[in-house]
Amino acid sequence: MDKKRFVEGRLKKSTSSDVLSFTESVSIDWRLYKYDIKGSIAHATMLAKCQIITDNERDIIVRTLKKIEDEISDGSFEFKTELEDIHMNIESALSERIGDVGKKLHTARSRNDQVALDLRLWMRDQINDISGLLTRLQKALVLSGRDNIDVIIPGFTHLQHAQPLLLPHYLLAYAEMIERDKGRLKDCLKRVNVSPLGACAMTGTTLATDPMVTADLLGFDSVCHNSLDAVSDRDFCVEFVSCLSVISMHLSRICEDWIIWASEEFGFVDIDDSYCTGSSIMPQKKNPDCLELIRGKCSRIYGDLVSLLTLMKGLPLAYNRDMQEDKEPLFNSSDTIKNCLSLLADLVNNTKFRTENINKVTTKGFLDATAFAEYLVQKGVPFRDAHKIIGDIVVACSDLSCSFAELSLERLKDFSHVIEADVFDVLGTENCIKNLKSYGSSAPEFVKKRLMEWENIISSDN
Ligand code: ARG
């Protein structure tokens, strides 16, 4: 066999070394080896079942493929750049070892359906791993919520004091977002878990194969209905990275919150030293670099999504070599999100809330203003009028540097005659929280109930 060209076809000259290094992908796609071998074993099994190869030939192929897999796993397999990609490296090794029997494996198969298959098998595992990591982060959030069950924090809009809320309510907001992230991946899996094998190069085969057999063996839900579609689309890749982009966006927001909360000005969180870094010049520094990097790595994942979308835009049907460029954004986004999720879960588990600092600021910024306006509404004042009255009281209190509750009842009555002594049951952050009633609010009974529901959700979810 010509060492330079495993697949000869009509080409009479060996490929130039520049072309080889430009076109090769094995340096990247070697990571698909387990899936490639799994797919080849299923393919050989199907070929034997359809009597295209003998049972004995199948056994020799399967045995040798497993041997090759072991060698790749232990690092003793020698990859050859001139064999372009992982698919040809494995197939060529097989033929080298078992001759003509090995050459039969590629019957009724093309690298076009093979690579689409490998990617789908790889992606199924990634979805499973990422979902597990999302649950791990949810667990960390729920645990922290449990540890801080009664802590009241200021809620922000526009990064200005808005309304008070329970810290577990804040933490569980992210648990809810992550649950939707898991739902998106689960939905994405439905479209990933369809077998493209059998499409061959683009139109299928004249040989009497049975794609249902390979689909069943590989645990797919169904088989692609159109061979052209099976080999030419990468929409499942775009969808997967789009799911990862949303996850990454959520992570960047929790990171941003906590970066601000770790500042001297806020001092709400104390991230364990083992999850912080120092400065090479300023000895006093304790920087939240992990949070900053998770926030920063979001840009990579968005970049990967844009790369894939751009890669596929305007590509004529069916397979084009451009599509080889899908691997790097896929691997990069999956690796990145897994690292971020795992690190963030650990960081959440190693972060304490500094309630002494939080308590100091919840008395500031009129966090009870909306509850105060709603008190007036309950006394029959139209909301817009109530809003104006409380606005006036805010101005008066700001001038005096005091809170609402620090004004006397007489002084408060100057603003509205409906104000009675019971106003002191609605003012102050604790009263605000206690008096919340609407479903999904930060009311203690709702938050505690949801926390318990979350404990059940995550304990049943691996
Ligand atoms: N390495 C290629 C890829 O990842 C495999 C498919 C090649 N097919 C072809 N007809 N050249 O896309």
pLDDT, tens digit, 9 for 90 and up, residues 301-359: 999 999 999 999 999 999 999 999 999 999 999 999 999 999 999 999 999 999 999 99
Predicted pLDDT at 2: 44
| Dihedral (Cα; 401, 407, 412, 415), 10-degree rounding | -10
Q: How confident is the model at residue 278 (pLDDT cuts 50, 70, 90)?
A: confident
Q: How confident is the model at residue 1 (pLDDT cuts 50, 70, 90)?
A: very low
Q: How far apart are CA 323 and CA 115, in angstroms?
A: 10
Predicted pLDDT at 3: 47
Predicted pLDDT at 224: 98
Catalytic residues: 158, 279
Residue nearest ligand 1's atom 7 by CA: 111
Residue nearest ligand 1's atom 3 by CA: 324
Pocket test for ligand 1, best of 5, 111, 122 (most atoms within 8 A of CB): 111
The Å distance, Cα 321 to ligand 1 centre, comes to: 6
Same topology, domains 112-149+165-358 and 362-455? Answer is no
> What pTM does this model have?
0.95
Examine the pLDDT at 146 and tell me if it is beyond 50: yes
The Å distance, Cα 326 to ligand 1 centre, comes to: 11
The Å distance, Cα 175 to ligand 1 centre, comes to: 40
Taking only the tens place, the pLDDT of each residue in 19-59 is 999 999 999 999 999 999 999 999 999 999 999 999 999 99
Tell me which fold the domain 112-149+165-358 belongs to.
Fumarase C; Chain A, domain 2 (1.20.200)
User: Beta 160-166 vs 222-223: how paired, if at all?
Assistant: unpaired
Examine the pLDDT at 10 and tell me if it is beyond 60: yes
Pair 347, 257: CB distance under 8 Å? no
The Å distance, Cα 24 to ligand 1 centre, comes to: 10
Does CATH place domain 362-455 in 3.40.120.10?
no
Tell me the DSSP string of 393-417: HHHHHHHHT--GGGS-HHHHHTT-T
Which ligand 1 atom lies nearest to the CA of residue 86? 1
**More confident position, 1 or 386:** 386
- Weakest-pLDDT range from 1-15, 47-61, 208-222: 1-15
Give CATH for domain 17-107: 1.10.275.10
Examine the pLDDT at 159 and tell me if it is beyond 50: yes
Residues with CB under 6 A from ligand 1: 25, 29, 85, 111-112, 115, 319, 321, 323-324
Name the residue among 94, 5, 78, 97 with its Cα closest to residue 44. 94
347-382 burial code (b ≥16 CB/10 A, e <16): bbbebebebeebeebbeebbbbbbbbbbbbeeeebe
Q: How confident is the model at residue 277 (pLDDT cuts 50, 70, 90)?
A: confident
Domain locations in the chain as residue ranges: 17-107, 112-149+165-358, 362-455
Predicted pLDDT at 4: 54
Examine the pLDDT at 76 and tell me if it is beyond 80: yes
Predicted pLDDT at 336: 98
Find the mean pLDDT for residues 363-373. 95
Predicted pLDDT at 460: 84
Predicted pLDDT at 443: 97
Q: How confident is the model at residue 374 (pLDDT cuts 50, 70, 90)?
A: very high
